[in-house]
Amino acid sequence: MPEKELIVVGELNVDLILNNIDGFPKIGTEILADDMNLTLGSSSAIMAANAAAMGVDTTFCGKVGNDMFGEVVLKELKNKNVCTDHISSSDTHQTGITIVMSYAEDRANVTYCGAMELLTIDDIPWEDIKNFKHFHLSNFFIQKGIRKDITTIFKKVKEAGITTSLDLQWDPENKWDFDYRECLPYVDVFMPNEAEIMALTRTSSVDEALEAVKPFANTIALKMGAKGSVGIEDDTQMEVSSFTNPKHIDSIGAGDSFNSGFIKKYIGGGSLQECLTYGNLMGALNTTAAGGTGAFNSPEEIEQKVKSIFNVAI
């Protein structure tokens, strides 16, 4: 039996988040933001940190720079009880950073990738991989060091006998160079959002995109924001409604928190509907605090918040 639960492989950076911004920036001008937060960023790290806060035994594999922001990333992950034994530091590249300009339920991001681009298939702890129950990878397109080996990575993980999940995220170059027909058969849970799956399949509707992907995917967990989520497994397709947060702060990391919640239930043997519902709930809880991890500290606190805000017992 596996000794550990979840290993997350992916990018690491800090987020510099600006909220309550006076308009949109224009070249040659200056605008003001009323709120600023420097937090743990990156989709992969947010997913890992929040899964750990939910009580999932979580390990991270990634790269940071040997610098101040790298220290922030390691400290924050350790504070969330994420094992950082497989995070290495680079002396040649700085830790990544994303400047997040947050507007209501949407945002504009600018990312410096830095050390995250150095992560390769060889950095994954293959000698230890069979000791985990589940392998998750996020933000494929900005991790140049692993892109060419993505199918090999998932095939090797499956051969080790553990379950897998993948959240591609958006392609900043808008090339969508990912062979889903080749890779997805080795992915147990594919976790795109609406815009991503349509861009990947070059279709003009979610229904068309799902039809294109379904022959190659095992389970699809489609994130639809305020509309909830859609799950597809075998011949079953279901929609699960979202939860409404009456005091929305921002949506940064909400999709990653959905991933955390879904995978927590998935590892525990939950049904597709249970996984989707818990994912939606954790995505909604994410919006009650600034940044991707602010709403997640411990299983006890999460349970209390969910009860008081959404009147749901977990």
Torsion, Cα 140 141 144 149, to 10 degrees, reads 50
Q: Is the pLDDT of residue 132 over 70?
A: yes
Q: In angstroms, how far is CA 249 from the centroid of its own chain?
A: 19
Tell me what pLDDT residue 241 has.
94
- State the pairing for strand pair 13-21/229-233: unpaired
Mean pLDDT of the chain: 94
Return the CATH number at 183. 3.40.1190.20
Tell me what pLDDT residue 164 has.
98
Q: In angstroms, how far is CA 165 from the centroid of its own chain?
A: 10
Give the count of beta carbons closer than 10 Å to the beta carbon of residue 198. Answer: 19
Per-residue pLDDT averaged across 32-61, rounded? Answer: 95
Per-residue pLDDT averaged across 63-81, rounded? Answer: 96
How many domains would you assign to the chain? Answer: 1
Instruction: Give a yes or no: residue 35 inside a domain.
Output: no
Instruction: Give a yes or no: residue 100 inside a domain.
Output: no
171-181 residue pLDDT tens: 999 999 999 99
Strands (E), 191-235: 219-223, 229-233
Q: Is the pLDDT of residue 4 over 70?
A: yes
Instruction: Give a yes or no: residue 172 inside a domain.
Output: yes
Tell me what pLDDT residue 37 has.
86
Per-residue pLDDT averaged across 66-93, rounded? Answer: 96
**Euclidean distance between CA atoms 129 and 1, whole angstroms:** 12
* Positive/negative CA dihedral, 103, 106, 110, 116: positive
Tell me what pLDDT residue 215 has.
97
Tell me what pLDDT residue 312 has.
87
Tell me what pLDDT residue 105 has.
65
**Euclidean distance between CA atoms 200 and 207, whole angstroms:** 13
Instruction: Give a yes or no: residue 263 inside a domain.
Output: yes
Q: Is the pLDDT of residue 255 over 90?
A: yes
Instruction: Give a yes or no: residue 83 inside a domain.
Output: yes
196-252 residue pLDDT tens: 999 999 999 999 999 999 999 999 999 999 899 999 999 899 999 999 888 888 788
φ/ψ of 19, rounded to 5, equals: -120, 165
> In which domain, by residue range, is 190 found?
4-11+46-94+116-310
Mean pLDDT highest for which of 32-36, 47-51, 100-104, 289-293?
A: 47-51
Instruction: Give a yes or no: residue 41 inside a domain.
Output: no
Instruction: Give a yes or no: residue 33 inside a domain.
Output: no
Per-residue pLDDT averaged across 270-279, rounded? Answer: 97
Counts of helices then strands in the chain (DSSP H, E):
9, 13
Instruction: Give a yes or no: residue 208 inside a domain.
Output: yes
Q: Which of 82-96, 118-132, 220-234, 241-255 has the lowest mean pLDDT?
A: 241-255
Q: Is the pLDDT of residue 311 over 90?
A: no
Tell me what pLDDT residue 292 has.
82
Place of tokens 């409604």: 241
Per-residue pLDDT averaged across 23-32, rounded? Answer: 92
Per-residue pLDDT averaged across 53-69, rounded? Answer: 97
Q: Is the pLDDT of residue 117 over 90?
A: yes
Q: Which of 29-43, 194-208, 253-267 has the lowest mean pLDDT?
A: 29-43
